[in-house]
Each structure stands twice: as C-alpha cells, then as structure tokens.
Amino acid sequence: MDKIKDHGTSGYPEVITRLPEADIQFKSVKAWIMQADLSQLVFFEFEAGASVPEHSHDYPQWGIVIEGKMELTINDKPRICEKGTEYVIPGGVKHKARFFEKTRVTDLFSERARYKPKSNKQ
C-alpha cells in the first residue's frame, strides 16, 4: 500500500494529477477534472499572484481552500479565504479571485462541462 504523504503547498498527490488536466485559460493555474454526469469537481492549483477575472455562470459553485490564501469577491463583497474556508457562489452572481500565495482549491461546478480536458496535442 502506498504511504500517504503530506504535500503541503507543494502540489496535489498523483491520485489527483492522474485525472484529466483541465484546459484553463487563466495564467499561473493548473487544474484536474473529476467528471460526473451533471457536474465537475475541479482541483485547482494557483501560483502566487494569479487571479481569476470577474465573471458569472448560470449554475451554483461550491468550493473549499485546501492550502494557501486568496481573496474571493462575490457580488462586490471581498473576503479572505484560507485553509478550510468553504464558500458557495449562487448561480448568476458575479465573482472573482486573487491569490496571495500558492493556493490549492477544490470547486464543485453544478454544470457538466465547465472545463474541458486539455488536448494531448502539443
């Protein structure tokens, strides 16, 4: 049996990084997709200084900070999120994020195709 390792902010373990990598259009971010019939669970890894521009989508989103620190602004209300912080973003609500240090976040999107897998073509 494999030993469980403490990865801290060094990244996700292989059990996550073996999932399909997401085709992300933002700089300084990597993500891996766990696909379900009606939703996606996405494991994000943001570098310090990364940001997600303001946007909205028609479906709700739930997330939790695994490691690191970010500012999440939902409906023009900023809040600091650190390890263990959970959040819910209702459908149709504008939101954005910026990351102060390397941060790992897991988000559940209530939509089947929020992100597509990265193409194997280089």
pLDDT band at 120 (very low <50, low <70, confident <90, very high): low
CA count, 13 A, side-chain hemisphere, 93: 14
- Classify strands 95-99 and 51-55 as parallel, antiparallel or unpaired: antiparallel
Mean pLDDT along residues 68-72? 98
Q: Where are the domains of the chain?
A: 19-109
pLDDT > 90: percent of the chain: 78
Say if residue 8's pLDDT is above 50. no
Q: What percent of the chain has pLDDT over 70?
A: 89
pLDDT above 90: residue 30: yes
Confidence at 28, pLDDT banded by 50, 70, 90: very high
CA distance 24 to 3: 31
The CATH number of 19-109, from 2.60.120.10, 3.40.980.10, 2.70.70.10, 3.30.565.10, is: 2.60.120.10
Give the chain's radius of gyration (CA, Å).
14
Q: 5-14, 46-55, 84-93: lowest mean pLDDT where?
A: 5-14
Inform me whether the pLDDT recorded for 9 exceeds 90.
Answer: no
Between 119 and 37, the higher pLDDT residue: 37
**CB neighbourhood size of 113 (10 A):** 10
Predicted local distance difference test score (pLDDT) of residue 46: 97
Q: Which residue type does 3 have?
A: K
Residue with tokens 């992100």: 115
Per-residue pLDDT averaged across 76-99, rounded?
A: 98
